[in-house]
Structure 1
Amino acid sequence: MTYKAVVLGSAAVLAFVTPATAQDARPAPVAELVKAVDIPYQQFSLPNGLRVVVHTDRKAPVVAVSVWYNVGSKFEPKGKTGFAHLFEHLMFNGTENVPGDFFEPLKQIGATDLNGTTYYDRTNYFETVPTGALERTLFLESDRMGYLTGAVTQGVLDEQRGVVQNEKRQGDNQPYGLTEYKITEGLFPATHPYGHTTIGSMADLDAASLQTVKDWFHDHYGPNNAVLVLAGDVDVATAKRLVTKYFGGIAKGPASVAPAAPIPTLPRAVNETIKDRVAAVMISRNWVVPGLNDKQAAGLDVAAGVLGGLASSRLDNALVKREKLAVSVSASNSSFSQLGMFTIQAYVKPGVDPALVTRRIDEIVADFLKTGPSADEVARVVTRNTARTIGGLESVGGFGGKAVALAEGALYSNDPGFYKKQLAALATQTPASVKAAADAWLARPAYTLTVVPGPRDAYAEAQVPPKADVPAAAEVPAKGTRGDLPTVGQLTPLTFPAVQRARLSNGIELIYAQRTAVPITQAEISFDAGAAADVPNKLGTQQLTLNMLEQGTTRLDSIQIAEAEERLGADINAGSTADRTEVSLSVPSANLQPALSLWSDIVRNPAFADAEVARVKAQQLAGIQQELTSPNGLAARVMPKLLYGPASPYARQSGSGDPAAVASLTPADLKAFHQAWLRPDKAKIFVTSDRPLAEVQAALEGAFGTWRGTGAAATKAFGAASQPSRPRIVLVDRLDSPQSLIVGGIPTSLTGTQDLLPVVTANDSLGGDFLSRINMDLRETKHWSYGVSGNFRQLEHAAPYTIVAPVQADQTGPSVKALQGDLSDYLGAKPLTQAEFDRTITGAIRSLSGDFETSGAVLQAMENNDLLRRPDDYYATITRRYQGLTLPQLNTAIRGALDPAKTVWVVVGDAKVVKPQLDSLGLPVEVVPAASVATAR
């Protein structure tokens, strides 16, 4: 569960002309294309006030179920901050008719995209389920709407309070983790509805009583305060019958009335500074602006894009690329129901005076307000935003699919089709309208927060409330009266798209699947390289090479590349896994030809210009220093050598590299790496597209067919065995950490290319799922963590097991001990049970259609199958393989794979708090200062 925003961006189906070269590409006017975007819907309301919106999409046998309640943190009075988010958690913990965790019945029906979120304006619950499970899902959603409070006991409240407080600690524990609180306090009066964060205060969460949370539910979660959206393989007649059956008997509740939320204007500019254990100074400039229903919201969106949202934005071009004063800069406009927040954020380059960066931000914003954007800047923002959202609308549910667009419009604007008005407003933006919006709101005084390196002020920790004096009878949950859960109907098996293979004339293999739900092409050129190919004595070479790809080719500089991508609506990104180095492309298919020309130029012809290498190298060095302040960054730099052994190529997975090595890299080093590893004889291209294979292949032939490698190709050496570390605890001393990050690694004799389906399936109940034993133990039973997981990492030449557990600092030692016990029990006296086996197999089979609803999921599956040497029809046949597994087979498989006695633990936390707890566990404890993690160990 999260408390993130879910706000619809603009969307349009783009139909661009196809010029000969990428930099000459010009989109057709977006205003002519907006009408092509359509999410047809019908709606009805029940007598109790429940509003229902139905969209039919038959592309897959799944239905997105999304329930949005008109209650968020803006409704919380003083003393009850965090209640909406706390209740979001409570509503996952069972009802009068479905006792126990709601993830259990949802797992059994194969739900995907399953979550709940809370923010200022709303609380929502969503899941995508097989069509045959829709009736059961509606029973579940209606039960937590109408039959919840009898199941909320003091024990349930205490459990979820602890989970939420660890969610808060987890956020606070990150670098810059306290900035949201300061910015909120700086922008709003304390009494303003948006004047406190959604996560709430520790004190208010501590003070929440059983009666106060039940009263909160009664006042806000009635059907008349909710919107239910069903999107996917469903029609309105079916929806009306089922929704009436399950929701019709729920009584109305009090109406949630949105509180008055005027847009505050600061009487004068405010500048504050706080300290945090960070590597770079961060400057954040903030304004409160109108919300998404205001006529100037679209203009502010475009202003944010021009200033700092585009890769070619004014702030980025000036501060990062030309003047080299900042390592990164961004601008965003977050639109909520009643107001919005406009933010400019810059991370200052080490050694640069922050006052100079602040002054330059002022000057650039002032110039923007004076001159406004150009027509080309406006067009690039509009094109970029629309292209990205088209891809998001391929999904019927989740965090940003069709159900979200309809629900948000209905709840925030009383119009499920409000997305069309947003599109129209975006499409009609002009330089004058954007300038007018910026003039009206960004010329006002701003709140500026500067975060500088230094010891953080004392952390407001939770106080454990005294055990409530509750009579035993009051702890007995009410018994339900609605009968058994509906049966699951007939389910349509997964139809995985046919995968076709072809070759370009130079031998590059093309692996292709057609997907026609949206007019988008997604492609990835994958090289047999990855982190394992990094240069042993120059770790960070691969990362710097990838960082340089979009910073200039032999014919385009970095700004020209960014502008070309934006005009085409293309996203090009470079990254790597342990085994592969990848450069991806996503673009509206109408622009495929020019986008491939640009993509090919980036991949084939990077310039590695001296000045650009120096600039990007400085950014990467700053990024390394940032990693050394992050719990996850520190653990990721320490664990690989311990888990794989220092001589293994997989030990080179050390973040962004060794700072001394990166500082010494030259353009010649990067050219050598590119020539040895990013070459056609080490490449494969994976594509999903609505365009047929013949057209895609011909376009790729023109872009890559003439490419030839020069010199000898490099190879990776996995022949010599590398011994992992002996069992021990490495404690990385990170001062003032309210949480500790525990990472456990167990080496195995497995490799990812083996048939690991039995062990991966067996692990579902140990660490691979929300309902897994280690998560339920540390999160739900002990509430020491927001979430714990354990998984086999399937690499080409290895498959170790890793556990990740962020826990509250005062329970670090007991948490490691609990994990040790959970592992030993599962592999010994308390193995996988029949109930767990049945839940896992049933859920895995039923979730397949939802798992592969989108083109991105199919593309990833194609790549994984190729890497792990599985047949292209692996997922087309996996149902039969699941059905052939047995309980004894799974227990035998995982017992043979894992030896918990070999576990090496990395703990990132405050040593003065944590080490005494770890000393009692019977393992040697090595304390490592965080600063020493930068170099090879």
Structure 2
Amino acid sequence: MLAACAGAGGASSGAGGARPGVASAASQVAPETRPAPLADLVAAVDIPYETFTLPNGLTTIVHTDRKSPVVGVTVYYRVGSKHEPRGRTGFAHLFEHLMFGGSENVENFDIPLESAGSTSTNGSTWYDRTNYVETVPTGALDLALFMESDRMGYLLGAVTQDKLDKQRGVVQNEKRQGDNQPYGLSEYLVADGLLPVGHPYRHSTIGSMADLDAASLSDVRQWFTDNYGPNNVVLALAGDIDAATARPIVERWFGAIPRGPEIARLEAAPVTLAASARQEVTDQVPVALVQRNWTGPGMTDPDAVPLAVGLHILGGLASSRLDNVLVRDEQLAVAVSASSQQHEQLSFLQAVMQVKPGVDQALAERRLGEVIDQLIKDGPTADEIARASAQLVSSQIGALEQVGGFGGKGATLAEGLIYTGDPAHYRNELQQLTSLTPTQVQGALQRWLSRPSYTLAVVPGDRTLDGGKLGGWGDEDTTPAPAPDAKAPVAVTRTGAPRTAPEVAPVGTLAFPAVEHARLSNGMQVTLARRTAIPKVSIALNFDAGTAADGAARAGTQSLMMEALEEGTTTRDAVQIAEEQERLGASLGTGTGTDSSSVSLSALVANLTPSLALMADVTRNPAFAEDEVARLKDQRLAEISQEQADPSGIAGRAIAPLLYGPNHPYGSVGASGTAAVVSALTPAALRAEHDRWLRPDNARFTVVGDVTMDQLLPALEATFGDWRAPASPAPTKDLAAAIPAGTTRLVVIDRPNSPQSVLVLGRVLPLQGTQQNVEPLDLANEIIGSGFLSRLNMDLREDKGWTYGIRSSLSGVTGPRSFTVMTPVQSDRTADSIRLILDTMAAFPAQKGVDAGELQRVTDGNIRGLPNSFQTNGQVLGALLRNQQVGRSDDYYSRLPEIYRGIDAKAINAAATEYLQPGGMVIVVVGDRKQIDSQLGALNLPIEYRNAAEQ
């Protein structure tokens, strides 16, 4: 399904002169851009399929894709939050959580699936549907279908009050986590402003706290009986499977499940407001956010695609109308976006602006409306439509790489059938793009955006609204909230005969793409892994720089310089750069990691040569124009203030300086930097930063996609081959700088009115990123905290219900690595959670070593799951870059199965003993001190207090 949306923000422009090491003016002239015809690109997008329907109504869609020995299993139930009655908001999503808690014949769905090599084992709920996904090795398809059928037909005998209460706690913490974000209450207010009480799309999918408290076991049983019958299901199988093979397996496991009631179609049409309305609320935010909202048409409406394109032109393209006027030209906003959030029976249309600090909000808001009105009055140009359409088609081509998961080919087919009755509905949308006219787009914009709108402004101040009371039916002021679940006894008995899970077949050898190496005439290294699954190429040009090139003293310099590359060159301004990549269906970007800075390109093979020419100009010839640098700095300062208002952002900015200290290159607050450093940067400083670090002898190309080395090298040679390194030596970073000794202590940062505390625990390890043979440590980390089935997640989330999720990680850096644990927890369990995390770490392996199930899951299970990990060009590119960073051989992932087979429990326990103990952990706590101070005192640890603005 088309999603014409974009993150807030945008690129900018500039102009300047040539410098040493930059191509001459003659070589800077770009070749004429000749994008491939859109119709040719659309013709390449195809997901052939077959369908069959069992007598009980279960419809199965099968798409065959033999590129990898995996099958994406995607199950869609025709029920979502729009089907919930008054007093039970949030229940469809709560039930989705319960579906993972086991059935009458399966104790836990995740353990056997992950042990069999499944990845993307997950589920989600939205207004129209609930879905469950997993991608499994071909030999585990029988197991996956057994398990999906067992929870469809044999669930109720395994759902207990204890499971309901625990998952209720998890979901309520998921709600707290979302509400705790800056602007986190906006979604509730927009729905309330656009739709009347009782409209199926009005209440939020997460629901209200009162309704979640009221959910009972009787509700669970009724919801299952009413909605989870096979006749209300679409099962999509995509990958190494065909219909002839699939049908008997599906019949075996699902055929005996009886039909259930049909899901009644609700009246849920878009609503036209009687008059425009505006609401302003205060919240703990640093920047005013203004959004204008309408409801729009359902998915099959003739206006759905024209509207998606029109809103992409308004605020989705990098060269969008809102970006060009409000961010670049008039500099009234630091970020903008516009989108059509499409659902089955209506859409939410939205234009959003973050007002630049110091700007008159009323002026900015008026100009937002004028830009929208101007587009409606004059309509878009044919070129704007062509650029928007090329981007949307290129995105759909990229989606063809994955067979399963939330965005894979199975989901595309299933959603088409569920929402429109046609699995190939995506083709109808793409065909519309090839012939869309300015008149059609303008007409759709006039019909829908000329209607009365609801405007919401969230401005800096105190939070006055309680998110826990929002998200429900909307008439709680006149209709009392339901009473909490009385936990009345409900008989829980088996509903069917016992069934036995099938055996899992062996998996074949991982076929990681062959890797080739070459050099350009100027010495630049080129690495290529050819993959022909889709007609696209992913390219990373990496420089040995990153935030480590800044350290603490210059934090933000490298990333602002990299961001400025797209703001204009000596021959193109920012709008031209944005428009050119849009015409080409390309995506050009820059990034700044810890150890490296990068220019990335995703390009259609048909447009590779002009896309590389654009990449070369941006990389080699940035202008760093004074006005563009000034605007970028304003946007960055607003970004920093946003981080300092976000609880996770506050914790993230605090942890690295605490671990590494001010003198180590890794002791920075992160890529965004500090306000003091950013404010002082000048165009000359950025130009010097570019010339020092972005040079051909400090860079290498890594390429994955449908191109041969014989095709790639001439294209790279023509665009980068004449780039010469300056005479000065390449810069270096002192990764051996001293690091302060770790001491266990609490660092508390007050964030008033927070329903959760964000915890980050960390310490630096006596381990370099380039050290080899560390796989036992990777597996030990997986057991303790990395993954859904980790000990910490199963305890804090699944058993205690104190968090929506917890994760531990080992930093992927070249120099000294760190170990961190991060989780948001409900405020009243802040100290309990810290204590549990430390105790769990200390017990591994002293009191609880690796058990047989854990060992099998992280060794054999990981081996089985490896083919799932390399479905996309991006996944292969990431693996190659990681190999390069830490000095591993090209065949590392092909050898990884044998490495895992050689690791035993003793090796994992030893790694946990050496590296994963709690001694010396710095514990950052971001929360409401009024709620947490008394708890933290009981931990008997040294406490240091800090201010969020200081981070």
Q: Which residue of 1 aligns with 2:323?
A: 316
Counterpart of 2:45?
Answer: 37
The 1-side partners of 2:578 and 2:616 are apart by 15
| Contact kept in structure 1, 2:764 and 2:818, CA below 8 Å | yes
- Structure 1 gaps of 5+ residues are 1-5, 11-19
Query: In the alignment, residue 125 of structure 1 is paired with which amino acid?
Result: Y
Q: Deviation at 1:23?
A: 7.0
CA contact (8 A) 1:646 1:724 kept: no
The equivalent position to 1:625 in structure 2, one of 638, 641, 647, is 641
For 1:331-730, what aligned pairs fall within 5 Å after superposition?
A: 331-461=338-468, 468=486, 470-471=488-489, 474=490, 478=494, 481-534=497-550, 536-710=552-726, 711-730=728-747
- Shift of residue 829, structure 1, vs aligned partner: 1.2
Deviation by residue 1:45-70 (Cα, 9 ceiling, x = unmatched): 00000011000000000000000000
Distance in 1, Cα, partners of 2:221 & 2:92: 12
Indicate the residue corresponding to 1:57 in structure 2: 65
Report the AA paired with residue 416 of structure 1. Answer: P
Question: Residues 774-853 of structure 1: matches in 2 within 5 Å?
Answer: 774-853=792-871
In the alignment, structure 1 residue 734 sits paired with structure 2 residue 742: no
CA spacing shift, 1:304–1:840, aligned 2, 3 Å: same
SS of match in other structure, 2:567: coil
Cα distance in 2 for residues equivalent to 1:862 and 1:464: 55
Question: Secondary structure of the equivalent of 1:341?
Answer: strand
> Contact 2:4–2:340 at 8 Å: present in 1 too?
no
The separation in 2 between residues aligned to 1:764 and 1:783, in whole angstroms, is 20
| Post-superposition CA distance 1:614-654 (Å, at most 9, x none) | 01011001111111001121111111011122211101243
Distance 2:29 2:103 in 1: 60
Higher RCO, 1 vs 2 (CA within 8 Å, ≥6 residues apart): 2
Letter in 1 for 2:205: T
Q: CA deviation at 1:37?
A: 2.0
Aligned-partner residue type, residue 650 of structure 1 = Y
Matched residue SS, 2:566: coil
CA contact (8 A) 1:633 1:655 kept: no
Contact 2:542 2:599 (C-alpha < 8 Å) held by counterparts: yes
* SS of residue paired to 2:938: helix
Quote the Cα distance in structure 2 between the aligned partners of 1:535 and 1:555.
33
* Partners of 2:390 and 2:584 within 8 A in 1: yes
How many angstroms apart in 2 are the aligned matches of 1:639 and 1:23? 47
TM-score between the two structures when normalised by the length of structure 1: 0.96
**C-alpha contact (below 8 Å) 1:7/1:408 kept by paired residues:** no
Q: What is the alpha-carbon distance in structure 1 between the residues aligned to residue 522 and residue 487 of structure 2? A: 77
Kept in 1: contact 2:4–2:312 (CA 8 A): no
Q: Which region of structure 1 is more displaced relative to structure 2, 490-499 or 59-68?
A: 490-499
Q: Paired residue for 2:231?
A: 224
Residue 725 (structure 1) shift: 4.4
Amino acid at match of 1:135: D
Mapped partners of 1:300, 1:8: distance in 2:
11
Range that drifts further, 61-70 or 833-842: 833-842
In structure 2, the partner of 1:16 is none
CA contact (8 A) 2:3 2:342 kept: no
Alpha-carbon distance between aligned partners in 1 of 2:372 and 2:2, rounded to the nearest angstrom: 26
The answer to whether structure 1 residue 201 and structure 2 residue 228 are counterparts is no
Q: Distance in 1 between matches of 2:125 and 2:487?
A: 31
Q: CA deviation at 1:460?
A: 4.7
1:740, 1:806 within 8 Å by CA — same for their partners in 2?
yes
For 1:176, give the aligned amino acid: Y
Partners of 2:664 and 2:713 in 1: how far apart?
37
Matched, 1:272 2:288: no
- Once residues 613 and 423 of structure 1 are traced to their aligned partners in structure 2, the CA distance between those partners, rounded to angstroms, is 38
Specify which of 326, 329, 332 is matched with residue 336 of structure 2.
329
Aligned-pair identity in percent equals 49
Please state how far the C-alpha of 1:931 moved relative to its aligned partner. 1.9
Q: Is the 8 A contact 2:315 2:338 kept in 1?
A: yes
Q: Which residue of 1 aligns with 2:921?
A: 903
Moved more, 136-145 or 358-367: 358-367
- Counterpart position of 1:192: 199
Aligned pairs for 1:9-88 (under 5 A) are: 24-31=32-39, 33-88=41-96
CA–CA distance in structure 1, aligned partners of residues 591 and 120 of structure 2:
25
Find the residue that maps to 1:749 and give its secondary structure.
Answer: strand
* Aligned-residue offset at 1:458: 4.4
Taking the aligned partners of 2:4 and 2:76, their CA distance within structure 1 comes to 18
Matches of 1:813 and 1:241, distance apart in 2: 53
SS of the residue 1:546 aligns to: helix
Do the aligned residues in 2 keep the contact of 1:741 with 1:804 (CA within 8 Å)? Answer: yes
Deviations, residues 203-222 of structure 1 (Å, cap 9, x unaligned) = 10000111012101110111
C-alpha distance in 1, partners of 2:586/2:498? 51
Cα offset for 1:33? 4.3
- Quote how far apart the aligned CAs of 1:768 are: 1.2
> Residues 460 and 379 from structure 1, CA distance in 2 versus in 1: closer, same or farther, beyond 3 angstroms?
closer
SS at 1:827 equivalent:
helix
8 Å CA contact retained: 1:837, 1:887: yes
- The verdict on how the C-alpha distance between 1:618 and 1:890 changes in structure 2, with shifts beyond 3 A counting, is same
Question: Residues of 1 paired with 2:118 and 2:313: CA distance?
Answer: 40
Deviation at 1:26, TM superposition (A): 3.5
Could you tell me which amino acid in structure 1 is paired with residue 812 of structure 2?
A: Q
Q: TM-score, normalised by structure 2?
A: 0.94
In the alignment, is the contact (CA less than 8 A) between 2:4 and 2:316 conserved in 1? no
1:304 aligns with 2:304: no
Does the 8 Å CA contact 2:216/2:485 hold for their aligned counterparts? Answer: no
Map 1:79-228 to 2 at 5 A: 79-99=87-107, 101-228=108-235
User: Which residue of the partner structure matches residue 18 of structure 2?
Assistant: none
Shift of 1:371: 0.7
What runs of 5+ residues in structure 2 fail to find an aligned partner?
A: 6-27, 470-480
Match of 1:84, SS state, is helix
Give the AA of the match of 2:673.
Answer: G
Q: Distance in 1 between matches of 2:210 and 2:73?
A: 35
Shift of 1:36: 3.3
